[in-house]
Amino acid sequence: MPQLKVDSEDIPLPKEQVVKKRKLPFGHFKVFGDVECKPNTQDEFADGWYQVLPRLDSGNPIHHWSVTLAQLPPHLWKKYRKDYEGNKVFYPVIKDNIYYYSINETKYDVLLLELYGELSKGLNSQNDKIKELLEKIDGQVTGWLITRAKKFLKPESEKYAVDLELPKMN
């Protein structure tokens, strides 16, 4: 039987399958190659949670957030400052590994700074002062700072029961 000669050029090669990477939602990042992490919420910041972010060279994209002072994560408040270029005031971008934060100025910034300072005093803070500042700000600005101040003003038994997830004391 005569053998049919076939050129290798005549045989169609299977198409290479292209695996598309799924684009991560804004703020999400991957660690250990395939574990997807979500950004902290304002409630998590209010409860004292802190998120360790991957370094810039990790292959994760940079996420740029536009926030008010009440939403700026607590560990970044020490980096907050005003700068001047000529006679114009601006707030430099605050960098935290793959997250960059631009601060949007509000008419409540002075009150927010005062509230943060009062909450930073811990047990030495003046509850009346916190209550007064909250009344001026509440409903106008949202963020972890407002949530934490409200939790701080709860009666001690409720406050500690919420923070530590303990049963309420009577």
pLDDT in tens, 80-107: 998 998 888 889 999 999 999 999 999 9
**CB contact at 8 A, 29 and 54:** yes
Provide the percentage of residues in the chain whose pLDDT is more than 70: 79
**Residue 99 phi, psi dihedral angles, 5° rounding:** -105, 130
What is the pLDDT confidence band of residue 4, given thresholds at 50, 70 and 90? low
Question: Which stretches within the chain are classed as H helix?
Answer: 42-46, 109-120, 127-137, 144-152, 156-164
Nearest residue to 103 (alpha-carbon basis) of 90, 116, 114: 90
At 31 the three-state DSSP class reads strand
The pLDDT value given to residue 66: 96
Q: Is 103 exposed, middle or buried (0-12, 13-18, 19+ CB in 10 A)?
A: buried
pTM: 0.75
The pLDDT value given to residue 46: 93
3: left (phi over 0), alpha (psi -120 to 50) or beta: beta
Distance of CA 11 to the CA centre of its chain: 55
Q: Which residue has the tokens 């980096």?
A: 79
Higher pLDDT, 32 or 77: 77
Nearest residue to 115 (alpha-carbon basis) of 100, 86, 135, 99: 135
Q: Which residue has the tokens 């990790």?
A: 58
pLDDT in tens, 53-80: 999 888 889 999 999 999 999 999 999 9
Statement: residue 113 has pLDDT above 60:
yes
Statement: residue 157 has pLDDT above 50:
no
What mean pLDDT, rounded, does the chain reach?
Answer: 84
